[in-house]
Structure 1
Amino acid sequence: MANKDFQYRVEALLLKVTLALFRLPGLDRASAIGGWLGRSIGPKLGITRRARRRIARAMPELSEAEVERVVVAMWDNLGRVAFEYAHLDKFYRPEERHRIEVVGIEELHAHVKAGRGGMLLSGHFGNFELLPIAMHLEGLEGGQIYRPANNPYVNAWMLDMRSAETGAVQIPKGRKGARDLVTLLRENKFVAMLYDQKMNDGIEAKMFGIPSMTTPAPAGLAVRNGTVLFPVCIERKSGAHFRVTVYPQIEADPGADPASEIVRITQVLNDFLEARIREKPENWFWLHNRWSE
């Protein structure tokens, strides 16, 4: 146990030192360095074979050359995300506001004026760490759902950093965070969630025509609590500049069978993911084990 604790402390220290080094070049240069490293090294890693298989399975119409283009661009984006992580605080600064363009925000602001909240639902698109930041910049109060890090010291540090910057309530995935999630929604606030990962105990819905185990939580909240769902996509425009697009809201049909409505909405959300990925496949994190292989 003592050895494990020591390992965790060393890992946390190394992470902090690494991020401190990533800060030295400045945001734009760090992003560029991360992109170069990502596209230079990433495609050569063994794990990338998974991405190639998943791209070819989801979009068999792509040639090998097109798949490889997606793989290289995906790694460019992931390398940039890693280096940009050290600079997340800069995205909050007024002088850096131009880095995040928000499209379709009018409907959300109308929601706020009406005294209502909802869920902002996205996938691992672009720099997926920016969704809570975009919420904060647009004056949307609430929280974000996160997957706790295995290292408790890293987890505590990340929670402190996120809370200090956005003021968002940090909600762990699973039953532990369910109470905080429901409380925020009842207070008519907003909760950000990435819902594109495989969930073994979820429900089956199609994605690219492939059976995909998917979390039913957003659809369940829409059906049981009347929660309004807002699909969101984060797209890297160029360098460390992004477009966050809010799509039309999804609401449950109060007259429909609850179980069937949960399945329908979950499928609608997966259809949204698929459509955004088809538009720009390199913008998504293909290394996820999204489908059983």
Structure 2
Amino acid sequence: MDGMRVWEAVLHRVMRYLPIEVTSAIGGFIVRMNVRFNRTSIASNARRNVRRHDPEASEAQVNRIVWRFLDNVGRLMAEFSVLDKLIPAHRVTFSGGEAASQRVGQMPTIALVLHLGNWEVLGPGLQKLGVPVATFYEPPPDIFHRKVAEDTRRGFGMRLLTPDRHGVHDALALLKANGTVAIFPDEARRGRTMAPLFGRPPHDRGNLAIAAKLARRTGAQIIVTYSRRIKGARFQLRFEPPVSLPVGAKNLLDDITFLNSQIEPIILRNLDQWYYLDDSIEPLV
């Protein structure tokens, strides 16, 4: 392990013993300073995208969104150290969980989890609600980051599915047994946003397509789920009312367009907490 990884490992352990708010704030400060002095292109790209999403926004409004976005990214990274403490410390409230969970376990359920706030709150949140879940998981290339993420998710009882044909097969089997599978529909690959579509034509190359195929094959109910950072390290975990794919002979791109309509408005309302704000939204070729 090189010097930087040793430093990260030490910091991760030390922050477990700090007050939750202090740990979260340290993460936000580190990322804001790193972007300000070392990685300015991240802020520039985020500003470009905010202006495209909201051409009427003032310069002050754009800057406020961008720096809140950066603060959120840093905080969520640091909060891995204290994730298991958030619910016992009454820092997570739930909205819509009772209605959304009425038929969970009685029929196939796909949770579309958005990269908003600190989405890792979903693990302890579902554990508290008594809902077992499997999730597709793309391992980070960094070994230390991978270990932290995997240990954290497995610690909350989440089953990790590989992002390949075998994982899809396992997900299909779970859904047919009335299980719950979590899919992250908003994503970026190699610096390009795959979803939401943001006015671009639908395509079949991302997680929205996987979700649409699984839902169509199993008749799963679909529940959009996301975390909103209320203040500091306090969150609301929101569950939207369950929906199903439109009845009738629909093709895959129609289903993808429908799923996009369920997630895009939520992300546009919460750009300051969206992890992929700085990724390109140019047309995909």
> How far apart are residue 212 of structure 1 and its match?
6.3
Could you state the TM-score of these two structures normalised by the residue count of structure 2? 0.85
Quick check: 1:142–1:169 contact (8 Å CA) kept in 2?
Answer: yes
Distance 1:287 1:147 in 2: 20
Q: 1:176 to 1:14 in 2, by over 3 A?
A: farther
* C-alpha distance after superposition, 1:199-251 (max 9, x if no partner): 69xxx887332346543011111112212111112100111111111112221
SS in 1 for 2:116: coil
Quick check: 1:206–1:267 contact (8 Å CA) kept in 2?
Answer: no
Which of the residues 69, 72, 97 maps onto 1:74?
69
Q: Percent identity?
A: 28
Q: 1:21 to 1:211 in 2, by over 3 A?
A: farther
Deviates more, 1:265-274 or 1:226-235: 265-274
* C-alpha distance after superposition, 1:124-156 (max 9, x if no partner): 100121222221111111212211122456534
Residues 1:146 and 2:141 are matched in the alignment? no
Residues 1:102 and 2:94 are matched in the alignment? yes
Distance 1:290 1:132 in 2: 29
Quick check: 1:119–1:227 contact (8 Å CA) kept in 2?
Answer: yes
Distance 1:196 1:206 in 2: 6
Q: 1:199 to 1:183 in 2, by over 3 A?
A: farther
Question: Could you say which residue in structure 1 is the equivalent of 2:58?
Answer: 63
> How far apart are residue 282 of structure 1 and its match?
0.5
Distance 2:266 2:184 in 1: 14
The code of the aligned residue for 2:172 comes to V
Quick check: 1:43–1:72 contact (8 Å CA) kept in 2?
Answer: no
Q: Runs of 5+ in structure 1 lacking a partner?
A: 1-5
Q: Runs of 5+ in structure 2 lacking a partner?
A: none
Could you state the TM-score of these two structures normalised by the residue count of structure 1? 0.83
> How far apart are residue 77 of structure 1 and its match?
1.1
The code of the aligned residue for 2:78 comes to F
Distance 1:143 1:12 in 2: 29
The code of the aligned residue for 1:188 comes to N
> How far apart are residue 84 of structure 1 and its match?
0.8
Residues 1:35 and 2:25 are matched in the alignment? no
Q: 1:30 to 1:156 in 2, by over 3 A?
A: closer
SS in 2 for 1:34: helix
Higher relative CO (Cα under 8 Å, sequence separation at least 6) belongs to: 2
Higher helix share: 1
Q: 1:72 to 1:155 in 2, by over 3 A?
A: closer
Residues 1:275 and 2:265 are matched in the alignment? yes
Distance 1:34 1:205 in 2: 27
Distance 1:106 1:225 in 2: 23
Q: 1:18 to 1:180 in 2, by over 3 A?
A: farther
Residues 1:54 and 2:49 are matched in the alignment? yes
Quick check: 1:131–1:192 contact (8 Å CA) kept in 2?
Answer: no
Q: 1:19 to 1:182 in 2, by over 3 A?
A: same
Question: Could you say which residue in structure 1 is the equivalent of 2:169?
Answer: 179
The code of the aligned residue for 2:119 comes to F
> How far apart are residue 74 of structure 1 and its match?
0.7
Residues 1:167 and 2:160 are matched in the alignment? no
Quick check: 1:207–1:271 contact (8 Å CA) kept in 2?
Answer: no
* Aligned pairs, number: 275
Question: Could you say which residue in structure 2 is the equivalent of 1:232?
Answer: 225
The code of the aligned residue for 1:121 comes to L
> How far apart are residue 263 of structure 1 and its match?
2.2
Distance 2:217 2:108 in 1: 15
Distance 1:11 1:29 in 2: 22
Matches within 5 A, 1:82-231: 82-91=77-86, 95-96=88-89, 98-112=90-104, 115-152=106-143, 154-156=145-147, 158-163=149-154, 165-198=155-188, 207-211=197-201, 213=203, 214-215=206-207, 216-231=209-224
> How far apart are residue 35 of structure 1 and its match?
2.7
* C-alpha distance after superposition, 1:148-175 (max 9, x if no partner): 1224565345323321x21111112222
- RMSD over aligned Cα atoms: 2.6
Q: 1:255 to 1:49 in 2, by over 3 A?
A: same
> How far apart are residue 253 of structure 1 and its match?
3.5
* C-alpha distance after superposition, 1:100-135 (max 9, x if no partner): 11111122331136x224111122100121222221
Distance 1:192 1:269 in 2: 14
SS in 1 for 2:86: helix
Distance 1:103 1:28 in 2: 23
The code of the aligned residue for 1:64 comes to E
